[in-house]
A and B are shown apart, each in its own frame.
Chain A
């Protein structure tokens, strides 16, 4: 390779290495701020801001959804299977909101474990499959669990 081309190749590699390093340092410094939400465990560990709005995400606990009589206010628990936080929300919930579903709620903590949400978004996972396959998977899982219990 002639020296001119070589020096230009080195220049390209230096640009790549330089921007790579700068961006890596920048994103590492901002790591906490780039996080879109906190998990219930992180909130319980005291990472949530006090009296300031933040996002909380996790799964809606099975059997925890209770609607008030006015029809708009909903109480439910968000869990990451370690810690659980009770959420209260007044408004229309997204289509995908249901028990066992992942959600992201924006709002404030009113005390250590009660969260008042202003907005609730549903977070769907990366699995795509037709309903019969999902039913079969659930059934297989249920059989496995009951088998384990029988033993």
Chain B
């Protein structure tokens, strides 16, 4: 029990607004620059050096945006729901802040995945949109994000809003395995998994490397933006505290 207690003490300490503000300020430039380097390297590798596909020719290159965006749409939701649950159970305010900061970013990734998928679908399948299980469940994910944001802005009391949003996020988690396994459980027009399966990835290494560079770049971009957003929210929520006033005074 002592170890548990000291772990919790460390978490509470880290999650205190003042420490979070200080540490996140140091992390943001690192994450931001790494994200920029990875995204530039991944784009150049993906657009100029990766070979054409034997079936789809050059059109497949939209994969380097579509797939990382789709992965992030699910990853951000898991972060949002976990943070919501932590905020609800342990009443750590920072967790609620992370959940609410993640929602618009996740919604943007989901919209990007849907739009790039549509642009890819028209030439390859012959349709902008079909109501198969993969596309429909991803569209539901977008509505879950939008619902989270709408619910948050509809409830005035921030604590009640965080609680309601956390419950919505937790209920919506069930959609994540459905999105992932939709292509296995049901017949879909969407292809099966290329990379995220137990088998060896069915993509050539020269195409896999830029894809993974982009995926990592997307992840670090999310880390950067979520920290910036959370930092602003923390500062706003703590505006009456002395440490915030000192920061304001220092920056003139």
Contacts and interface: CB of A to CB of B under 8 A. Distances in A.
Contact of A124 (B52, B55, B132): B55
B81 to A, nearest CB: 9
Contact of A16 (B63, B174, B188, B193): B174
B236 interface: no
A50 interface: no
A36 B189 contact: yes
Interface stretch (B82-90, B225-233, B241-249): B82-90
Contacts of A101: 55
A35 B194 contact: no
Summarize B's interface: helix, strand, loop or mixed.
loop
Interface in A2-38: 5, 8-9, 12, 15-16, 19-20, 23, 27, 31, 34-38
Given A96-B124, A121-B130, A122-B124, A12 B88 contact: yes
Interface residues of A, number: 39
B239 interface: no
Contacts of B188: 36
A127 B194 CA distance: 7
B32 interface: no
Interface in B165-221: 167, 170-171, 173-174, 178, 185-189, 191-194, 202-204, 206-207
A72 to B, nearest CB: 15
B29 interface: no
Interface string A114-132: 0000011111111111110
22 contacts: A8-B88, A12-B85, A12-B88, A19-B171, A20-B174, A31-B186, A35-B187, A36-B131, A36-B132, A36-B188, A39-B187, A57-B187, A93-B126, A123-B125, A124-B125, A127-B194, A127-B202, A128-B60, A128-B203, A128-B204, A130-B54, A133-B204
Interface of A: 5, 8-9, 12, 15-16, 19-20, 23, 27, 31, 34-39, 57, 93-96, 101, 104, 119-131, 133-134
